[in-house]
Structure 1
Amino acid sequence: MLNFEPRLSPEMYARQLSCKLNLTYSVDAEEVVKELGLLYREKDLGKSSGYDGCLVRKNNKAAVIINANIAYKTRRNFTIAHELGHYLIKGHNKNIYNCAGKDIEGSFSGKGHESEANQFAVELLFPSQHAKSILKRNPLNMDLAKEMAARYGTSLTSTLIRLVKQNDIDCCAVILSEGSKVKWSITSTRFRRCYEVAPGYLSQDTYAYDFFIGKSIPQESQNVRPGSWISGDGVYDLSYIIEESVPFANLGIVATLLTIPQDEDDYDNVDL
């Protein structure tokens, strides 16, 4: 049994596990589960309305069970790491964790068990220092997020969050929408100095909104009216912002990456 220091953050649990097991990247979460002596199973847990993963404790043993219907290898890998977080993080003491797709794609902030398991998973698979190094060499866009998700075996949503939160260069934000409303948003340091994401229902001028009225979303980045997504003192100096939205039709959610173009970003002219 692994011993961890008390009162660690979810990210620190992941870092200590990586150190103890001498993990190299990219990480195969299934192999980590087996190395820790947990049972691993894949079962039919349902499709769009079923669970993506479960952690089951019984008779001093534990098992990670993953939905065999998960189509994408990266989503599967992240789900396994998520369940491993439930197993290792102090205070996650329930005998059964049944985790739906929306728990794993949509819960990344706060102190709830699902959010903490996601925070553990993304640090285990895609460490913050790796993200910082990548961002020094590459501007953030959806193509980069997809490439990193494939490289590190992380879900697209978790990869976007990692790249935005660790971003000291780009003025950007990631937003999750559900039921045509903003569920949550996470912004880079530069973004929140001047702007904020408008809460509540999506503007009809956004491409993310189109998904909720049955329209398709363009795969390419799109220029949109700044006020359709953001507010703040700097918004009136912008002529456009860039929206890249990806729908998860089976979950009824949309992940959006917003970027303020460098030639539009008024950050350097703001009196701080």
Structure 2
Amino acid sequence: MTRPEIEAKRLLDSLGWEKPGDLSLNQIGISLNAMIRDVEMKGSQGRILMKENYSVISVNSDISYNPKRNFVIAHEIGHLSLHKKIMPLFSDNKRTLNEWYSKGKHEEEANQFASELLMPTELFIRESNAKNKSFSFELIRELCDFFGASQTATLLKYCRIGNTPVSIVFSNKGVISWKVESKDFPLKFLKIGSKVQEGTSAYDFYQYGEIEQDPVEVAPMDWFPEDFQVEDFEDVDLMEQSIRIGEESLLTCLWF
């Protein structure tokens, strides 16, 4: 586990947390002398102001999707637990929250903390195995409902510790912004800044504005044309399914 994940687990253990519903995020905030409030904001999803003896976490009142609100709060609690001595104020917009792996060490650490706070690793593994299902977005949605987390956060958690190796690719306006894959996913070379290739479902979204609701079979070469191992998978179908993020971005999951 990473240091942020260890700190999140330590916090939950200190509060006697065992399962979702035991404590609200407001109660966790109170235990840290942090007040959580919903306020009108422009250009920001969440913000935390940290003083010596107390903190104020502000959440954009326009956020109506509760799993997203949960993640924003958990992310700011991560800043409080990890970065209080570094900087007294953190303000997070859609980019710092969506672009998990491209916005610097502190934001990545806060995201890791939030993921573990909302979906503790041991319980996540137990619940995903208890479903007795192979990887699918249906499984991801069931885990979302259990933990009260977003599909994005749940997919990324599964990517790290799930049974099926997957690759997660975030693209914006048809260009690859970042990607992360399970340790055992065989194809890893995908150039950041390259364009989404024709032949993929993601390409069709950027061309025609429509997103497939079910998994689509694509050629591995269409996603990983420069990976030196891709020829070994010429006769294997790669499964692709995406979540739309805002108007111009996709979070795409790939698996065999």
TM-score by length of 2: 0.87
Match of 1:227 among 200, 221, 226: 221
Distance 1:147 1:108 in 2: 25
Q: Structure 1 residues 38, 206: CA separation in 2 closer, same or farther (over 3 Å shift)?
A: same
Tell me if the contact between 2:75 and 2:110 (Cα under 8 Å) persists in the aligned partners: yes
Matched ranges for 1:38-187 at <5 A? 38-46=34-42, 50-58=43-51, 60-90=53-83, 93-108=86-101, 112-136=105-129, 137-167=132-162, 169-187=163-181
Tell me if the contact between 1:86 and 1:92 (Cα under 8 Å) persists in the aligned partners: no
Q: How many residues are paired up?
A: 246
Distance 1:214 1:25 in 2: 43
Tell me if the contact between 1:171 and 1:259 (Cα under 8 Å) persists in the aligned partners: yes
After superposition, give the CA deviation of every residue in 1:213-255 in whole Å (9 maximum; x if it has no partner). Answer: 35110111111122111334254343421101111125x3211
Q: How much has 1:68 moved relative to structure 2?
A: 0.9
Distance 1:108 1:159 in 2: 15
2:13 alignment partner, SS class: helix
Q: Structure 1 residues 71, 214: CA separation in 2 closer, same or farther (over 3 Å shift)?
A: farther
Tell me if the contact between 1:108 and 1:118 (Cα under 8 Å) persists in the aligned partners: no
Q: How much has 1:67 moved relative to structure 2?
A: 0.6
Distance 1:77 1:152 in 2: 10
Tell me if the contact between 1:105 and 1:158 (Cα under 8 Å) persists in the aligned partners: no
Matched, 1:245 2:237: no
Q: How much has 1:258 moved relative to structure 2?
A: 0.7
Tell me if the contact between 1:141 and 1:257 (Cα under 8 Å) persists in the aligned partners: no
2:210 is aligned to 216
1:204 alignment partner, SS class: coil
Q: Structure 1 residues 249, 213: CA separation in 2 closer, same or farther (over 3 Å shift)?
A: farther
Distance 2:139 2:181 in 1: 17
Q: For the aligned residues, what is the CA RMSD? A: 2.2
Match of 1:20 among 10, 14, 20: 14
Tell me if the contact between 2:219 and 2:234 (Cα under 8 Å) persists in the aligned partners: no
TM-score by length of 1: 0.82
Q: How much has 1:64 moved relative to structure 2?
A: 0.4
